[in-house]
Amino acid sequence: MNQTTEGRRQKRRRPDLNTVYSINADGSRNFIQPADVIGKWQVIRNSINFLLMLVYVGLPWLQIADKPAVLINLPSRQAWIFGFSYTNQDFYLVSVLLTAAGFLLFVLTALLGRIWCGYACPQTVFMEGVFRKFERLLEGGRVARIRRNQGPLNFDKFWRKTVKHILFIFLSALIAHIFLSYFFPAKEVLKLVATGFSGHSNALFWTLFWTGILYFNFSWFREQTCLIICPYGRLQSSLIDADTIVIGYDEARGEPRTKGAEGGDCVDCYRCVEVCPTGIDIRNGLQMECIGCANCIDACNEIMKKIDKPEGLVRYDSQTGFETGKRKSFIRPRLYVYLLMALVGLTVATFAVNSRTSFHANVLRARGMPYAIEGERIRNLVNLHIQNKNSEQSLFTIEVAEELRESFEIIVPLKQLRLKSMEDGETPIIVYCTFDDYKEPFPIFITVSDSLTGNSKQLEVMFKGP
């Protein structure tokens, strides 16, 4: 390293533990331009990113039992998820499933640190897997980007920036439209686009809204989402312990960081910092800003190969592993507590999903007086409402308890209701009782049976009189 380069490095601000590197002392933004890196972890991450994007794009097009694999119809408060249909009455399942998923994430974090952030979070998947790649394609590598950004606005800078931002708007709109296809059938979304969302101002508004948010996020806000908005990064410090596998720097092996025989393995080349998308120096220890992308591992391994030293100066290991060289321990109370909580959540979720009925039925008294007098008789009118929650059409049979029929007159105009998936149906039920037979309010039992699943449900409503 010549003296001029070294001088520039001295002047350049270096990441530290007291400041956020992406924000300057005056509060302005210090835009991070991570360098390109290739290596084993990049191949793994790119493959996972590709698969996840495939799932994201493909799910609304995948058909299960003639319905999209995932479709949430907000206006009708219905959802089809992997062949099962749900209504707003099943909404409690969302909280149960989210709780179970949350505890599973706790287990994952206690075991493997921020593996979710680095490999599966949509922010990282789209930022590193899509937007950053196009940016590199149009604006070149780190040095070219920094020079161009600092240079005057000439034609070269103008066209590259213009094309990049047009592309970013297009990509944001594409992601927003795919997101929309989780709420509208994908083919309908194509029709909406073809007709310019005519008559669907709500869908247009939300699509434009999300396009704007995504464009802002991926073109400007970037790593600030992980640093400022996402609560998970802050939570991780309370979830991990000394045996959690994290990305770290082997200080014992690397220090003193310098070139030459007297130094450790770290040659202070700064490469691990240059590739970091959040601009931190992993050699300062585990930091909240680290999103676990493994760029620094691949970058340092490249250097180690060049200087003929073993790989793994920056690697996945536990704090205990870095400090003592001992193997990782999986016997940790916190891990089992999280696992237990996740299993409880999953058991409750499985039980809740399995115990949900294939239809919803309720009975409501007709509006107005609870009864009517017709000559010598008292009349009660109730409405039976059924909703078919099966993913197919089904026939619902309505029966009233036999012993009631002998003593009282019961009229059920529709004894069977054929309902399509998620369709609602209603029938009135009229019950007559003579004044002589009526002593006090008594229950009427109505049984509804689903021919498709064999499920049945008994409902109770009180017969009332004067």
Which residues inside 258-317 make contact with ligand SF4, applying CB under 6 A? 266-272, 275-278, 280, 282-283, 290-296, 299-300, 303, 313-314
69 or 266: CB nearest ligand SF4: 266
| Residue 240 in the binding site for ligand SF4 (CB under 6 A) | no
| Residue 444 in the binding site for ligand SF4 (CB under 6 A) | no
282 or 431: CB nearest ligand SF4: 282
Q: Biggest alpha carbon distance in the chain?
A: 111
CA-CA distance, 46 to 42, in Å (whole number)?
Answer: 6
| Residue 239 in the binding site for ligand SF4 (CB under 6 A) | no
CA-CA distance, 80 to 8, in Å (whole number)?
Answer: 59
Q: How far is the CB of 213 from ligand SF4 (least distance, A)?
A: 23
| Residue 176 in the binding site for ligand SF4 (CB under 6 A) | no
69 or 297: CB nearest ligand SF4: 297
115 or 400: CB nearest ligand SF4: 115
67 or 283: CB nearest ligand SF4: 283
Q: How far is the CB of 37 from ligand SF4 (least distance, A)?
A: 8
- With CB under 6 A as the rule, give the number of residues binding ligand SF4: 30
Q: How far is the CB of 209 from ligand SF4 (least distance, A)?
A: 30
CA-CA distance, 378 to 435, in Å (whole number)?
Answer: 7
Strands of 58-149, DSSP E = 63-64, 67-68, 70-73, 78-81, 84-87
22 or 358: CB nearest ligand SF4: 22
110 or 267: CB nearest ligand SF4: 267
CA-CA distance, 341 to 377, in Å (whole number)?
Answer: 58
- φ and ψ at residue 356, rounded to 5 degrees: -75, 140
Q: How far is the CB of 233 from ligand SF4 (least distance, A)?
A: 10
| Residue 116 in the binding site for ligand SF4 (CB under 6 A) | no
Element (H, E) at 461: strand 456-463
CA-CA distance, 4 to 283, in Å (whole number)?
Answer: 24
Q: Residues 118-137, buried b or exposed e (16+ Cβ, 10 A)?
A: bbebebbbbbbbbbbebbbe
Q: How far is the CB of 289 from ligand SF4 (least distance, A)?
A: 7
259 or 327: CB nearest ligand SF4: 259
Q: Residue 327 gets which letter from DSSP?
A: P
Structure tokens that stand for 325 in this block? 């060289």
In the block, which residue shows the tokens 């060289």? 325
CA atoms within 13 Å, Cβ hemisphere of 276: 24
The three-class DSSP label of residue 242 is: coil
Q: Judged by CB under 6 A, which stretch of 119-127, 246-254, 354-362, 444-452 contacts ligand SF4? A: 246-254
Binding region for ligand SF4 (CB under 6 A): 247, 249, 254, 257, 266-272, 275-278, 280, 282-283, 290-296, 299-300, 303, 313-314
